[in-house]
Amino acid sequence: MVILDHIQKIFHRNTPNENQALDDVSLKIKEGDFVTVIGSNGAGKSTMLNAIAGVYPIDGGKIILDDVDITSLAECKRAAFIGRVFQDPMLGTSPSMTIEKNLSMAYARPKNMTLRWGLDFSRRKLFKDYLKNIPLGLEKRLSTKVKLLSGGQRQALTLVMATMKKPKLLLLDEHTAALDPKTALLVNRLTEEIVHKNNITTIMVTHNLEHAIKMGNRLIMMHKGQIVMDIKGEEKSTMTIPRLLNKFEQLQGEKFAEDRVMLA
């Protein structure tokens, strides 16, 4: 279980540019939940993910994962059990290294092993098995440097790296936003397959309302640093984009206006 207990994050405190990015955010996520998060720019979506990952120290509240208080735990320590995939396909991998060496680092990370590749036949076979279900041919290119891959191939590889050792929590920060629609669909399908197969607790930030509605079992909308909607169960399964926008307008007394939001 993931618990955010009244967390707060303020940037540029006591300056003219002070910004309360997270305003008393509380949230409980059960093991195996797949939560999609939407909201306009500045709503606090990515800040919440970065706070959970340890990138930003919070200014109040607690972050608890599987009954362990990780509020003060360093980002590098959390990386052992929190997987992340970023919007930029080049993040999360080492571009100058080969696919198999990147996978070796991801495979060793939870065990805090040294950088000994150990790329014997059995290890390469294991990596091919991880990649063979991705229709991008990566299993045939283990010795290729990551910088030579397309954006979609890099993002699929990053997703595999982030989940191959089944993290306690997977954080996806607009991980298909930089991809073309066809490749984004492929990566989303791969995401759902991996998450459901391994029952990985997942939080996915997206600007695509259709993806937010169709993916996962719970939808959260953030606005001005707060969670203003929490939709799950039958309500989520029957939700539509017009109803979602209308509900936001009724709750907040304003229209949901954001240039980056994709309605379909």
Instruction: State how many domains the chain has.
Output: 1
pLDDT given at position 137: 85
Q: Exposed e or buried b for every residue in 90-113, given b needs 16+ CB within 10 A?
A: bebbeeebbbbbbbbebbbbeeee
- Give me the pLDDT at residue 264, please: 46
- What's the pTM? 0.90
| 65 lies in some domain | yes
Question: What pLDDT is recorded for position 133?
Answer: 78
Range of the domain at 180: 2-81+167-252
CA separation for the pair 103, 109 (Å, rounded): 10
Q: Identify whether 258 is part of a domain.
A: no
243 inside domain: yes
Could you give the CA distance from residue 52 to residue 58 in angstroms, rounded to a whole number? 9
Q: Among candidates 90, 7, 46, 65, which has minimal Cα distance to 205?
A: 46
Distances (CA, A) of 31 to 4, 26, 195: 14, 17, 12
CATH code, 51: 3.40.50.300
DSSP category for residue 85: E
Amino acid letter, 2: V
Per-residue HEC secondary structure of 170-233 comes to EEEECCCCCCCHHHHHHHHHHHHHHHHHHCCCEEEECCEHHHHHHCCCEEEEEECCEEEEEEEH
The pLDDT value recorded for residue 75 is: 95
In order along its 264 residues, the chain shows pLDDT tens digits of 899 999 999 999 989 999 999 999 999 999 999 999 998 888 999 999 999 999 999 999 999 999 999 999 999 999 999 999 998 878 888 899 999 999 988 887 765 555 455 566 778 888 888 888 788 889 999 999 999 998 889 999 999 999 988 999 999 999 998 888 888 999 999 999 999 999 999 999 999 999 999 999 999 999 999 999 999 999 999 999 999 988 888 877 677 665 455 554
Question: What's the confidence (pLDDT) of residue 110?
Answer: 60
Q: Comparing C-alpha atoms, which of 122, 120, 88, 92 is closest to residue 105?
A: 92
Q: Which two tokens stand for residue 185?
A: 């669909």
What is the structure's pLDDT at 262? 53
Angle between helix 99-108 and 121-131 (nearest 10): 100
Whether residue 131 lies inside any domain: the answer is no
The label of the residue with tokens 């490749």 reads: 183
pLDDT at position 123 is 80
Q: Does residue 261 fall inside a structural domain?
A: no
Residue 221 covered by a domain:
yes
Contacts of 57 (CB under 8 A, 6+ apart): none
236: left (phi over 0), alpha (psi -120 to 50) or beta: alpha
Tell me, yes or no, whether 259 lies in a domain.
no
